[in-house]
Every structure is written in structure tokens, then in C-alpha cells.
Amino acid sequence: MGMVIPYSGVIAIEQVITAGSQFTGAAPNTTATAVNGVWTYPTATAGGLFDFAQVTAIEVLGLMITFGGQSSWTLKHVCANTGKYLIRSGAGDTDLYITADTKWKLMPGDKLELITTGATTAMKARVLVRREDTGDGN
């Protein structure tokens, strides 16, 4: 289960993978800690599933991934009811930045999945999201 997105505001979720390990698309098996709106999971040997446990739609405002340049990777939108959809993929990239001008929505139950292969250095992924204000207090 992911963390619960607060009623309003912007938060970031960060996962860090150790050198020689991969983003596998798995949920982190540790608990994130929050400091100044950034939820950070402890460094791990696997991860890559970003589960926001949202009950209303959220906007993905930005994404930053540090690959280290050795890996092939895929980033997918995992829709709760209809499957997985490729957002982007690549190989040999050092960094990936997706900015607010290419934002998209995740509906309740949707997740993001990051999978890498061939990485030899530590990697970091940070996703910036904002919950839509439904006006109902939820």
C-alpha cells in the first residue's frame, strides 16, 4: 500500500536503488519518511512502483530519474482497470526529466511503474504530484 496523498498541496515521492541493483517495478518494501513534502524511501535493492493510494485523481507534475547512463528503461502508467501503458522508454540515458508542461493524471488506483535493466550505478527516481481539489473535503 502506498502513502495517502494529503487533501491539497504538492508532494514528491523518491526511491533510490543501490549500485548494481535495478528498478524492478516492485513496490518498496520499506516505509517512507516525509520531510518538507518529500516522501523518501530508504535506499533499497529493488523498487520502481509508485503507488499513491489516491482516492481522487492526482496530477503528475514532474518526474526526475537519474540512471547513471548504463541502463535500458521503461516508464509505464498502470491503470487500475485497463492495464499498463508505455509513457516513455530509452537506453543509455544519464537523466530523464519530465516537466509540468507534459503533466498527466492518475485516477484512483493508478500507479507508475519504472523498470531498468543493466544499471551498474545507484539510481534515483522522484515523482512530483498534486491532488486535485474535488471540493468535497476528501
Query: Does 3 fall in a domain?
Result: no
Identify whether 137 is part of a domain: no
What SS3 state is found at 101? Answer: helix
Q: Does residue 41 belong to any structural domain of this protein? A: yes
Q: Write out the three cell numbers for 82.
A: 485497463
Q: Could you list the residue range(s) of the whole structural domain that residue 39 is in? A: 10-131
Q: Flag whether 75 is in a domain.
A: yes
Give residues with Cβ within 8 angstroms of 91, minimum separation 6. 71, 72, 73
Q: Is residue 21 part of a domain?
A: yes
Confidence of residue 138 (pLDDT cuts 50, 70, 90): very low
Domain annotation covers residue 138: no
Tens-place pLDDT, residues 88-105: 999 988 888 888 666 788
Predicted confidence band of residue 137 (pLDDT cuts 50, 70, 90): very low
Residues 41, 13: Cα–Cα separation, whole Å = 8
For residue 82, the SS3 value is coil
pLDDT tens track for 31-71: 999 888 889 999 999 899 998 888 888 899 999 999 877 77
The burial of 81, by beta-carbon neighbours within 10 Å (0-12 exposed, 13-18 middle, 19 or more buried), is given as exposed
Look at residue 105 and tell me if it is in a domain: yes
CATH of the domain at 69: 2.60.120
Total of domains in the chain: 1
Q: How many CB atoms lie within 10 A of CB 46?
A: 17
Asked whether residue 2 is domain-assigned, the answer is: no
Cα distance between residue 117 and residue 91, in whole Å: 9
